[in-house]
Amino acid sequence: MRAGSEAEFPAMAKGLEAEPREVVNTLEAPQRIGGEPVWDYRVQFRTVHGYRRAFIRTGRGPAILLIHGIGDSSVTWEHLLPFLAIDHTVIAPDLLGHGASDKPRADYSVAAYANGMRDLLSVLGVDHATVVGHSLGGGVAMQFAYQYPERCERLVLVSTGGVSNDVHPILRLASLPDADLLLPLVGYDLTRLAVRAVFLAFQKLGTDLGRDAADFLRVFDTLPDATSRSAFVRTLRAVIDHRGQVITMLDRCYLTRGMPTMLVWGAHDAIIPYSHARIAHAAMPGSRLETFENAGHFPHHAEPARFLAVLRDFLSTTSPPVHSSEAWRELLRRGKTVGPPLPPAGHSASGT
Answer yes or no: 135 catalytic. Answer: yes
Answer yes or no: 269 catalytic. Answer: yes
Q: What is the 3-state secondary structure (H, E, C) of the chain?
A: CEECCCCCCCCCCCCCCCCCCCCHHHCCCCCCHHHCCCCEECEEEEEECCEEEEEEEECCCCEEEEECCCCCCHHHHCCCHHHHCCCCEEEEECCCCCCCCCCCCCCCCHHHHHHHHHHHHHHCCCCCEEEEEECHHHHHHHHHHHHCHHHEEEEEEECCCCCCCCCCHHHHHHCCCCHHHHHHHHHCHHHHHHHHHHHHHHHHCCCHHHHCHHHHHHHHCCCCCHHHHHHHHHHHHHHEECCEECCCCHHHHHHHCCCCEEEEEECCCCCCCCHHHHHHHHHCCCCEEEEECCCCCCHHHHCHHHHHHHHHHHHHHCCCCCCCHHHHHHHHHHHHHCCCCCCCCCCCCCCC
Catalytic residue among 68, 79, 268, 297: 297
Catalytic residue among 159, 212, 269, 281: 269
Angle separating helix axes 189-204 and 213-220, nearest 10 degrees: 170
Alpha-carbon dihedral 6, 313, 54, 148, rounded to 10 degrees: 180
Catalytic residue among 73, 135, 228, 350: 135
- The contacts found for 81-85 with CB under 8 angstroms, 24 or more apart, are 81/4, 81/38, 81/41, 81/56, 82/4, 82/9, 82/37, 82/38, 82/39, 82/41, 82/58, 83/9, 83/37, 83/308, 84/59, 84/308, 84/311, 85/17, 85/37, 85/38, 85/41, 85/58, 85/59, 85/60
Q: Enumerate the active-site residues.
A: 135, 269, 297
